[in-house]
Amino acid sequence: MDRKKVPLNTVTRNTVDFAEKTGNIYEAVVVMYKRANQIAQAEKKELYKKLEDFKNDRDTMEEVFENKEQIEISKYYERQPKPVLVAIEEFKAGELEYKLAGGEENKPDA
């Protein structure tokens, strides 16, 4: 999914459109929630990995050094679209593969 196409702000959406893909709005919400959680965890892991390079064992509460590169990395992630918005766009585009509790599997349209 191209994140440049994902809106940065909340958009009013028609819930009927979400229910069409799964047959149930609640199942659609669960699918999007779980994908958003995956995206958030991956971004968090990536951010921590990048910020770990700046970690200093001597840093204490009194000694906090501002590093411009570290600040830029943090600002970059703040400007990214929220994981929920990315998950919604992936769901709408049919890019998510999920399996419902009843055993019915849905694969993205190719």
Is residue 109 assigned to a domain? no
Mean pLDDT across the chain, nearest whole number? 81
Q: How many helices (H) and strands (E) does the chain have?
A: 4, 2
Give the pLDDT confidence of 89-107 residue by residue, as tens digits: 899 888 888 887 776 667 6
Q: How many domains does the chain have?
A: 1
Is residue 107 assigned to a domain? no
Q: Give the residue, 37 or 61, on which the prediction is more confident.
A: 37
Paired tokens of 57: 């064992």
Q: Which domain holds residue 46?
A: 3-55+63-101
Helix (H) / strand (E) element for 16: namely helix 15-22
Q: Which residue has the tokens 């703040």?
A: 78
Q: Quick one: pLDDT at residue 5?
A: 74
Q: Quick one: pLDDT at residue 2?
A: 65
Q: Give the pLDDT band of residue 44 (cuts 50, 70, 90).
A: very high
Q: For residues 98 and 82, give the distance between their C-alpha atoms in angstroms, rounded to a whole number.
A: 21
